[in-house]
Homo-oligomer: A and B are copies of this chain.
Amino acid sequence: MARLPVYLRALTALQERGVATVSSEELAAAAGVNSAKLRKDLSHLGSYGTRGVGYEVEYLVYQISRELGLTQDWVVAIIGVGNLGRALAGYGGFASRGFRVAGLLDADEAIVGQEISGMVVEHIDRLEDIIADHGVSIAVIATPAGAAQGVCDRVVAAGVTSVLNFAPVVLSVPEGVDVRKVDLSIELQILAFHEQRKAGGPDGLAPLQEGDPPPGTSQYVETVEA
């Protein structure tokens, strides 16, 4: 149910505009999905609509929040305080949805001790302490690619079972641990792919030529900073 957060966002926007009731058609349009899909999704949570009328916005917001577990607070730690870690630390959308940042951690001595968004950056050595003391249940990894697996192993060993990974690597974790991955450059690559298709007409690429040359060296060298 990866679409529930999108519905929730659309609903809170309606709520702010003082709308009391929506039809599946309207809400689906706001969320950018098909209305039948929306109804099926919502029907999985229970029968919260009224036939002939629609859904009561307030009530649906509450039910989806409950389903998503947003009626309780989740404690997160952000590991890696580069540009991205800073952006995450200052991101208002976390606090407002019940996500509390318990700590910012980094290995770089020059960054440790700095104050970012009202929090003092801690040394990565304190990782296990912070997880235990604050009851961290979600770790956000925003380190360089090379450090990510090591950090991941440590947070998992310390009992964290949900990881949001911004480093451009596939993390391996034991059974029972959830990892979600956000990769900024992958999103751009997907856009480039579609853009190319448009430019090249309906068929896109030229078909593979027999003598298509394998390049001597690749220009696609990895630079890894999440």
Contacts and interface: CB of A to CB of B under 8 A. Distances in A.
Given A91-B184, A91-B225, A189 B5 contact: yes
A62 B72 CA distance: 48
A84 to B, nearest CB: 4
Interface residues of A, number: 85
Contacts of A88: 184
Given A87-B86, A161-B195, A221-B96, A190 B62 contact: no
B62 A138 contact: no
A90 to B, nearest CB: 5
Interface string A12-34: 11011000000000000011100
- Residue of A88, A192, A194 with most partner-chain B CB within 10 A: A192
A126 interface: no
Given A12-B220, A86-B83, A218-B61, A193 B161 contact: no
Nearest to A190: B2
Contacts of A185: 5, 91, 93-94, 97, 99
B191 A56 contact: no
Nearest to A69: B196
Contacts of A221: 12, 16, 96
A18 B192 CA distance: 28
Contacts of A13: 222
Contact of A176 (B2, B12, B16, B198): B198
Nearest to A85: B87
Interface of A: 1-2, 4-6, 8-10, 12-13, 15-16, 30-32, 46, 56, 58-59, 61-62, 65-70, 72, 74, 76, 82-84, 86-88, 90-99, 137-138, 140, 161-164, 168, 170, 176, 178, 180, 182-196, 198, 205, 208, 214-215, 218, 220-225
